[in-house]
């Protein structure tokens, strides 16, 4: 009896499932024939399926609004898209179609907002939450945004020292700057450090507020922010950090009537294996219920809830498709499927933080299955992928070298962070520009000579790659 790859998947998971199906024996992604795209464009290629972005936003928004009604919660829910997850104009514009608000993380991010505003993609009513380290440039552009009428721009303080820089720019601004405070959380026990470097230590927050914020007529504290960066999970650790943050929120709220918003950051998971189970509805209801209970017990008004989902918004839209160039048997138990690009260059999180993605063959589902390792064609020994989530071995269809059609495979749900971290086309994580490159040499007489080979990357260079400049090529 033949054990086909289809049988393996059929017996192990619910299949077909949301986004994945077989059409005439070939995998389709969100209803789109991948064979059609392979024939049309040839592999390797990256794929971004834009309609999924709107679906994800609607799903989370509906669940939060349902939980708000169910719990008779008096605050509102506000969905912000965290731009650092994927800055491409087609992606951010797809999110903006759903009337999302935005979260920024660096100076160039504000240029991106200027462009979107010029194009009429957002209005001065859009809430823009500014996280990240506030460099001089970043702060100046945030003030510019305020001067343009963005009345809902909120500068979330990442450290105590930022308040002095904010106060300096606030003094010159004809109006009041809205600010938030980010609470630094304690990391999971297995983490390499104890307290997150992002945010202000919980023990210092109340005194900081009393000494440096209270009574200052040029700034107004509107938001409390905390982000458990290992994700929103129904775990003892998550609820512990959540409760600690809620206690600080309540203490601050009793001191400061201006605070209206509680921002939970990002951290919603996405499907990274076909057996993924996560009860979004339950978690969202628990979050809303817990905020309400804690506020009621302390007799403080229920805040508007903000989230900044990045990976959740765009992760499931992305895929990367390869052809298997060759199968290489290196010993009795190890077979390598060599694909026609580099995994380190295209899904860098798989190498750097051992992130898992859904891996599926596009064709040959009726062939028998076999255990494989996937190898990239770079010469780096780390350029491989060989286990699924929970360290499970990797299985793909076996094939005979004589078969006419090559085996095609795809990594799915790769739409978040992979482009910026791999520097696709020259973009950078959080749009932090590439620094200038200085060359030092010695001349014939042994004296040092130095020169600038390339200057720091400019805003226009970055925004052009991302599709925000009118002369941008290659984006239809
Ligand atoms: C402040 C902040 N908000 C939101 C996010 C988005 O997180 P995720 O992609 O897990 O939703 C990040 C990610 O690093 C972040 O630093």
Full pLDDT tens readout for the chain, 476 residues: 679 999 999 999 999 999 999 999 999 999 999 999 999 999 999 999 999 999 999 999 999 999 999 999 999 999 999 999 999 999 999 999 999 999 999 999 999 999 999 999 999 999 999 999 999 999 999 999 999 999 999 999 999 999 999 999 999 999 999 999 999 988 887 887 788 888 999 999 999 999 999 999 999 999 999 999 899 999 999 999 999 999 999 999 999 999 999 999 999 999 999 999 999 999 999 999 999 999 999 999 999 999 999 999 999 999 999 999 999 999 988 999 999 999 999 999 999 999 999 999 999 999 999 999 999 999 999 999 988 877 778 999 999 999 999 999 999 999 999 999 999 999 999 999 999 999 999 999 999 999 999 999 999 999 999 999 976 555 54
**How far is it, in rounded angstroms, from Cα 398 to Cα 368?**
6
**How far is it, in rounded angstroms, from Cα 218 to Cα 215?**
9
* Domain regions of the chain by residue span: 5-42+316-415, 51-310
Q: What is the pLDDT of residue 476?
A: 47
**How far is it, in rounded angstroms, from Cα 184 to Cα 227?**
8
Q: Is 121 exposed, middle or buried (0-12, 13-18, 19+ CB in 10 A)?
A: middle
The closest of 301, 268, 315, 271 to 287, measured between CA atoms, is 268
Give 80 Cα–ligand 1 centroid separation in angstroms: 11
Place of tokens 């260059």: 345
Give 363 Cα–ligand 1 centroid separation in angstroms: 35
Give 309 Cα–ligand 1 centroid separation in angstroms: 6
Residue 182 alpha carbon, nearest atom of ligand 1: 1
The closest of 163, 135, 50, 29 to 97, measured between CA atoms, is 50
Residue 268 alpha carbon, nearest atom of ligand 1: 11
**How far is it, in rounded angstroms, from Cα 323 to Cα 89?**
28
CATH code: domain 5-42+316-415 is 2.40.37.10
| Ramachandran bin of 261, using left for φ above 0, alpha for ψ from -120 to 50, beta for the remaining angles | beta
With beta carbons less than 8 A apart as the criterion, state whether 156 and 204 touch. no
Identify the residue whose C-alpha is closest to ligand 1 atom 3: 265
Identify the residue whose C-alpha is closest to ligand 1 atom 4: 266
Q: What is the pLDDT of residue 389?
A: 75
Give 156 Cα–ligand 1 centroid separation in angstroms: 14
Q: How many CB atoms lie within 10 A of CB 85?
A: 26
In total, the chain counts a number of residues equal to 476
Mutation test of ligand 1: which of 225, 266, 317 has the most ligand atoms closer than 8 Å to its C-beta?
Answer: 266
Give 227 Cα–ligand 1 centroid separation in angstroms: 8
Give 85 Cα–ligand 1 centroid separation in angstroms: 8
With beta carbons less than 8 A apart as the criterion, state whether 56 and 307 touch. no
**How far is it, in rounded angstroms, from Cα 248 to Cα 256?**
12
Q: Is 92 exposed, middle or buried (0-12, 13-18, 19+ CB in 10 A)?
A: buried
Q: CA distances (Å), 14 to each of 9, 274, 387, in order?
A: 8, 8, 20
Residue 417 alpha carbon, nearest atom of ligand 1: 9
Q: Half-sphere exposure of residue 74, counting CA atoms within 13 Å on the CB side?
A: 8
Give 268 Cα–ligand 1 centroid separation in angstroms: 9
**How far is it, in rounded angstroms, from Cα 367 to Cα 3?**
8
Q: CA distances (Å), 263 to each of 12, 79, 249, 388, in order?
A: 38, 10, 10, 33
Residue 416 alpha carbon, nearest atom of ligand 1: 9
- Nearest-5° Cα angle at 303, 299 to 306: 155
Q: What is the pLDDT of residue 286?
A: 98
**How far is it, in rounded angstroms, from Cα 473 to Cα 476?**
8
Q: CA distances (Å), 64 to each of 13, 127, 413, in order?
A: 29, 18, 23
Q: Which residues contact 360 (CB under 8 A, 6 or more apart)?
A: 20, 27, 409, 410, 412
Q: Which residues line ligand 1 (CB under 6 A)?
A: 82, 85, 103, 131, 227, 265-268, 308-312, 416
- Does domain 51-310 fall under CATH 3.40.50.720? My reply is no
């Amino acid at each position: 009896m033949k054990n086909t790859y289809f049988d393996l998947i059929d017996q192990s998971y619910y299949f077909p499932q949301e986004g994945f199906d077989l059409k005439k024996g070939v995998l389709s992604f969100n209803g789109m024939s991948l064979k059609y795209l392979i024939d049309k464009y040839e592999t390797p290629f990256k794929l971004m399926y834009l309609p999924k972005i709107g679906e994800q936003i609607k799903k989370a928004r509906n669940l939060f609004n349902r939980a708000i009604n169910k719990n008779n919660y008096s605050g509102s829910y506000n969905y912000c898209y965290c731009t650092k997850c994927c800055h491409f104009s087609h992606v951010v514009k797809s999110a903006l179609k759903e009337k999302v608000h935005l979260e920024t993380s660096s100076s160039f991010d504000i240029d991106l907002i200027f462009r979107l505003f010029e194009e009429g993609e957002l209005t001065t009513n859009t809430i823009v939450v500014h996280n990240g380290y506030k460099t001089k440039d970043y702060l100046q552009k945030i003030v510019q945004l305020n001067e343009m009428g963005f009345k809902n721009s909120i500068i979330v303080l990442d450290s105590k020292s930022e308040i002095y820089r904010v106060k300096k720019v606030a003094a010159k601004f004809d109006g009041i700057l809205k600010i938030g405070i980010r609470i630094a959380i304690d990391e999971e026990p297995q983490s390499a450090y104890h307290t997150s470097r992002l945010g202000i230590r919980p023990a210092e927050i109340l005194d900081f507020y009393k000494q440096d914020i209270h009574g200052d007529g040029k700034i107004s504290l509107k938001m409390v922010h905390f982000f458990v960066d290992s994700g929103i999970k129904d775990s003892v650790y998550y609820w512990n950090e959540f409760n600690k943050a809620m206690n600080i929120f309540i203490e601050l709220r009793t001191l400061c009537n201006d605070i209206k918003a509680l921002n939970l950051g990002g951290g919603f998971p996405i499907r990274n294996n076909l057996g993924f189970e996560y009860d979004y509805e339950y978690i969202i209801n628990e979050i809303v219920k817990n905020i309400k209970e804690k506020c009621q017990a302390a007799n403080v008004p229920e805040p508007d809830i903000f989230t900044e989902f990045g990976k959740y918004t765009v992760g499931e839209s992305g895929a990367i498709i390869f052809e298997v160039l060759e199968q290489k048997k290196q010993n009795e138990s190890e077979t390598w499927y060599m694909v026609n690009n580099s995994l380190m260059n295209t899904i860098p999180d798989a190498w750097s933080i051992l992130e898992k993605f859904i891996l599926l063959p596009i064709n040959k589902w009726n062939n028998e299955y076999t255990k494989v390792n996937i190898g990239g064609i770079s010469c780096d020994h780390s350029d491989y992928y060989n286990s699924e989530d929970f360290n499970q071995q990797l299985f793909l269809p076996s094939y005979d070298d004589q078969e006419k059609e090559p085996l095609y495979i795809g990594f799915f749900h790769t739409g978040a962070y992979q482009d910026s971290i791999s520097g696709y086309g020259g973009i950078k994580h959080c749009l932090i520009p590439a620094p200038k490159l200085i060359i030092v040499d010695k001349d014939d007489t042994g004296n040092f000579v130095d020169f600038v080979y390339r200057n720091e990357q400019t805003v226009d260079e970055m925004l052009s790659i991302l599709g925000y400049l009118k002369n941008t090529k290659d984006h239809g």
